Amino acid sequence: MLKSYILIAVRHLARHRFFSVIMVCCLALGITFAMIIGLYVRNQEGVNGGIRDAGNQYMIRSKWKVRGLGMDITTIGPLAKTMKEEYPALVANYYRYNPVGQVVSAGENFFKENIAIGDTTLVSMYGFPLLYGDKDNAFPTISCAVITAKTAMKWFGQTNVVGKRFGMQTTAVTDRWLGSYAYRISQDLGPYFLACVLIFMIAFLLIAAQCWQTARANPVTSLRAD
């Protein structure tokens, strides 16, 4: 029975080559778009997923009166500290950083890197898991650093670099960072809705054309061919 169904399907595809190619291509495109949309949604929903209390994390942004005076994602340094001191019931902690370019020396090797000079609350506030180091005291002094495992491999050729120096002492190694924090892309339903409408329209037109052709066909010819 299954062999007969497969034979009839192959004959049907061979008899209607043009519509078969179009339907197969549209089905492939529909599945591809569905997979891409699903991966995109999953990726966006995963942003900040590894950060502690991500729903209660906020970024202080500025609206400068003079255009070009500063970026909107920056603000004056003492503001976060003052907010914690003035509103302790609302602000549990804060983290400030200043990204700079720096030439780093690790032994006899030199690397030009983008580093961030920030508060020692980085690990405790965001809850980054540490591969090496003390998560409760990742910054024992203000002259130490936490780096990623990728950076440790680049500079020292190994991941356990606690105690090694590159101008300052390394006290912890993590495998996560703030690469996507506070830059979450909002979900706009417009492209998804338009893609679904186009897929349904193409499928409807193809089915309607196939039904019209089948309705006008001579049943005797179809029975004779099958």
Residue 80 lies in a domain: no
Residue 114 lies in a domain: no
If one counts the domains in the chain, the total is 1
Report residue 222 as tokens.
């179809």
14 Cβ contact list (under 8 Å, min separation 6): none
pLDDT of residue 183: 47
Residue 116 lies in a domain: no
Residue 76 lies in a domain: no
In the DSSP assignment, the letter for residue 59 is -
Spans of the chain, pLDDT less than 70: 1-2, 4-10, 12-13, 46-49, 176-192, 195, 203-204, 207-208, 210-226
Q: What is the pTM of this model?
A: 0.57
| Alpha-carbon distances of 55 from 52, 59, 117, 144, 167, rounded to whole Å | 9, 12, 25, 29, 36
102 Cβ contact list (under 8 Å, min separation 6): 112, 113, 114, 115
pLDDT of residue 184: 46
Residue 9 structural domain: 2-45+196-225
Residue 6 lies in a domain: yes
Residue 145 lies in a domain: no
